Amino acid sequence: MDNRDKFEGFLERLAGRLTNTVLLGFFSLLFCVPVVTIGASLTALHDAMSQYVVYEEEKPLRVFLDSFRKYFKISTVVWLVHALAFAVLILDYLYYEGGDSTADILGQTGIFVLMAVLVFEMLMVFVVISQNMAESPWGAFRKALDIAFTCLLETLALLVINIGIPLLCVLVFPGLILVLPGVIAYASWQIIPRMLKKYKFKRGNAEYQRERRKKQ
């Protein structure tokens, strides 16, 4: 009976995880519909998912709605900057796509790499904003890049999650697109807490060493 209770408890927790992950992903897609609200929606998704994964928040959807309002202004500015950068890269890709020379192929490859970097940088900016680690768009940009270069292994893992999972979904399970944002965010937040802890430790240790050198 005890083992049965444990198994039923496990199934109940699993069902709760799946339900909240799917609902958060669906709401984030729904709130992205006006396009201009994509930044605020992704920031709210990461804030809600962080509360749910790290602190076991019982009402993550309420956190999502509160965060959407709270971070709307700064997240929208960040999103518009990234949207402009994406538009420039797409125009560059279309330019190189018309040719078959080595330079054109290298240009396309370079643009794909830049897009991958931009996707990750945008992800980390929204994470930074959702965790109250910056008070301005410029500060969020700087903090996101600093985290990425300080925690390279975690950066690569997040790149695989945020680019590999969507590609796999499009190629194999296109019908799962509605739950994709929630799944990606949930998978990302299995790594991000350790990443932020590592970043804060390294940065705190570096500041401590600088203070010691000043005193000497």
**Domain membership flag for residue 43:** yes
What distances in angstroms separate CA 136 from CA 77, 143, 158, one per listed residue? Answer: 10, 10, 24
Identify the residue whose tokens are 């932020």. 196
**Domain membership flag for residue 215:** no
User: What is the helix (H) or strand (E) element at residue 176, kind and residue range?
Assistant: none
**Domain membership flag for residue 214:** no
- The pTM for the full model equals 0.84
> H helices within the chain, ranges in order?
2-31, 38-55, 60-70, 72-97, 102-130, 137-150, 152-159, 165-172, 180-188, 192-215
Instruction: Tally the domains of the chain.
Output: 1
CA geometry: angle at 41 spanning 52 and 169, to 5°? 80
**Domain membership flag for residue 143:** yes
What does the block give as tokens for 127? Answer: 């994470």
Cα distance between residue 161 and residue 72, in whole Å: 25
pLDDT tens readout for residues 52-98: 999 888 889 999 999 999 999 999 999 999 999 988 888 887 877 76
Q: Which domain holds residue 148?
A: 2-202
pLDDT at 201: 86
**Domain membership flag for residue 213:** no
**Domain membership flag for residue 72:** yes
pLDDT tens readout for residues 106-160: 877 888 888 877 877 888 899 999 999 888 889 898 898 899 888 888 888 888 8
**Domain membership flag for residue 212:** no
pLDDT tens readout for residues 154-193: 888 888 888 888 888 777 776 677 778 888 999 999 999 9
**Domain membership flag for residue 216:** no
CB atoms near residue 101 (< 10 Å): 9
Contact between 48 and 57 (Cβ < 8 Å): yes
Instruction: Pick the more confident residue, 97 or 48.
Output: 48
pLDDT at 76: 94
